[in-house]
């Protein structure tokens, strides 16, 4: 049984508390959060879970000596918390983004690697059924050579809604660093290739409730030749949310109709789709279960493909390059940018 400490008991922490407690190979030894309100809300929403609550990470590490730590805290405190765990040789699963800037993200990874601990990043969308099947089909050659794709994510995210994290309202590049980072990571993962060149443009519509850009457009050229058009926003004008991901290849096209479900394959020249069977999943929970299980495998010394901190640096490079491209108004060579920023 892997005794796991959960740090950060907010919106995302409530998923984690359930997923850790329900995993047959782990136990939730304690939760850490300076906010008594956060703990109270968790208790109200998940009354079946009982675990001690502390307000200080150092005290919790000393008292419980956990085998693993899950950090579900805002990115601004990840480095300090990863360092505290690394000093004690404790493996960490840290929510995304690892950090808000390149230098801090790199130090997070250096600290973990120097201490020889596993550092896994919260790229739970890699464990969605839609992702697993899409990657299997594309990498397995069902589409033949892939030419181009498009991701369209259109959402009205009410950042002032109670029980939703508030720091995105005031942070720099909230859409990119909190949301598009998942999409960009999935594009690297599903197309199984790094990005060669990126053009990005980030903007904020006049009606935005976010202080910084809530809309991201990008054009990505992958090393394997795939071209991807991306558009994502948190500030659609109403709650008619949309998510589609279309990828076209020489033998056929893959179309994802929604964010967590609905995948169809259209063979070249046909006018009816083949529905790809997907196992039912509870959104944000089953994908998180998959991520946790993969991390626990690594902690037990078993084979694992968890998204590592080192791998996340390339997703961070892509995300930050998007903002930089927008600032400079030009296309960037990603590897060159990543090297300049110390991310590759
Ligand atoms: N992977 C996903 O699908 C997903 C979804 C939502 C959020 N997230 C990520 O999870 C992280 C947390 O987001 P959230 O929505 O739960 O935010 P939140 O604001 O709802 O919760 C964060 C909690 O961390 C606590 N906290 C702050 N500083 C702390 C410290 N030093 N020690 C312990 N606790 C501390 C806060 O009191 C708060 O309760 C962020 O990095 C966010 O990007 C990931």
* Domains in the chain, CATH or no CATH each: 2-121 (3.40.50.720), 125-281+314-337 (3.30.360.10)
Quote the percentage of the chain above a pLDDT of 90. Answer: 98
Question: Residue 45 — pLDDT band, cuts 50, 70, 90?
Answer: very high
Peptide bond into 272 cis (omega under 30): no
Quick: pLDDT tens for 100-156: 999 999 999 999 999 999 999 999 999 999 999 999 999 999 999 999 999 999 999
* Alpha carbon of 298 to ligand 1 centroid (Å): 24
pLDDT of residue 295: 98
Q: Which of 10, 76, 307 has most ligand 1 atoms within 8 Å of its beta carbon, as the pocket-test mutant?
A: 10
Whether 112 and 86 have beta carbons less than 8 Å apart is answered as yes
pLDDT of residue 289: 98
Whether 219 and 228 have beta carbons less than 8 Å apart is answered as yes
Count Cβ neighbours within 10 Å for each residue of 166-201 and write b for 16 or more, e otherwise.
eebeebebbbbbbbbbbbbbbbbbbbebbbebbbbb
pLDDT of residue 324: 98
Query: CA dihedral defined by 118, 124, 129, 134, rounded to 10 degrees?
Result: -80
Question: Is 90 exceeded by the pLDDT of residue 314?
Answer: yes
Which protein residues are within 6 Å of ligand 1, measured from CB?
Answer: 7-13, 32-35, 38, 57, 72-75, 77, 95-96, 122, 124, 165, 178, 284
Question: Is 90 exceeded by the pLDDT of residue 281?
Answer: yes
As separate numbers, helices (DSSP H) first and strands (DSSP E) second, the chain gives 11, 15
Nearest Cα to 137, choosing from 318, 286, 278, 294?
Answer: 278
Stated pTM of the model: 0.97
pLDDT of residue 136: 98
* Alpha carbon of 75 to ligand 1 centroid (Å): 8
Question: Residue 176 — pLDDT band, cuts 50, 70, 90?
Answer: very high
Quote the percentage of the chain above a pLDDT of 70. Answer: 100
Q: What average pLDDT score do residues 62-76 get?
A: 98
Tokens of 144: 């033949």
The residues pairing with 245 across neighbouring beta strands, listed in sequence order, are 151, 256
Query: CA dihedral defined by 286, 288, 294, 295, rounded to 10 degrees?
Result: -150
Tell me the C-alpha distance between 37 and 194, whole Å: 42
pLDDT of residue 189: 98
Average pLDDT over the chain reads: 97
pLDDT of residue 239: 86
Hey, how many other C-beta atoms are within 10 angstroms of the C-beta on 136? 12
Residues contacting 325, CB < 8 A, separation 6+: 198, 199, 200, 201, 218, 331, 332
Longest alpha-carbon distance in the chain? 64
Q: What average pLDDT score do residues 243-267 get?
A: 97
* Alpha carbon of 72 to ligand 1 centroid (Å): 5
Question: Is 90 exceeded by the pLDDT of residue 238?
Answer: no
Question: Residue 2 — pLDDT band, cuts 50, 70, 90?
Answer: very high
Question: Is 90 exceeded by the pLDDT of residue 178?
Answer: yes
Angle at 158 between CA 157 and CA 162, to 5 degrees: 130
């Amino acid at each position: 049984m892997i005794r796991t400490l959960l740090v950060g008991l907010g919106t995302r922490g409530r998923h984690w508390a359930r997923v850790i407690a329900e995993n047959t190979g782990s136990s939730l030894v304690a939760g850490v959060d300076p906010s008594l309100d956060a703990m109270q809300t968790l208790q109200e929403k998940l009354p079946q879970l009982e675990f001690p609550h502390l307000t200080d990470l150092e005290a919790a590490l000393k008292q419980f000596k956990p085998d693993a730590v899950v950090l579900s805290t805002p990115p601004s405190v990840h480095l300090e918390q990863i360092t505290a765990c690394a000093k004690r040789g404790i493996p960490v699963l840290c929510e995304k983004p690892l950090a808000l800037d390149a230098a801090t993200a790199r130090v997070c990874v250096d600290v973990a690697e120097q201490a020889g601990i596993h550092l896994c990043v919260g790229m739970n969308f890699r464990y969605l059924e839609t992702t697993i099947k899409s990657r299997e089909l594309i990498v397995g050659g069902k589409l033949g050579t892939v030419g181009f794709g498009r991701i369209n994510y259109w959402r009205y995210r009410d950042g002032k809604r109670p029980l939703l994290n508030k720091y995105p309202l005031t942070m720099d590049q909230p859409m990119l660093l909190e949301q598009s980072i998942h999409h960009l990571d999935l594009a690297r993962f599903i197309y199984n290739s790094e990005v060669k060149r990126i053009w990005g443009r980030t903007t904020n519509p006049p009606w935005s409730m976010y202080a910084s850009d809530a809309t991201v457009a990008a054009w990505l050229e992958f090393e394997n030749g795939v071209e991807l058009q991306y558009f994502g926003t948190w500030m659609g004008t109403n709650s008619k949310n949309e998510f589609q991901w279309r990828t076209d290849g020489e033998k056929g096209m893959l179309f994802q109709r929604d964010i967590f479900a609905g995948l169809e394959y259209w063979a070249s020249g046909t006018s009816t789709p083949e529905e790809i069977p997907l196992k039912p999943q509870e959104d944000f929970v089953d994908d998180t279960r998959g991520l946790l299980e993969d991390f626990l495998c690594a902690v037990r010394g078993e084979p694992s493909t968890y998204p590592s901190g080192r791998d996340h640096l390339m997703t961070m490079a892509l995300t930050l390059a998007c903002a930089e491209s927008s600032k400079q108004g030009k296309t960037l060579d990603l590897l060159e940018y990543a090297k300049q920023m110390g991310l590759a």
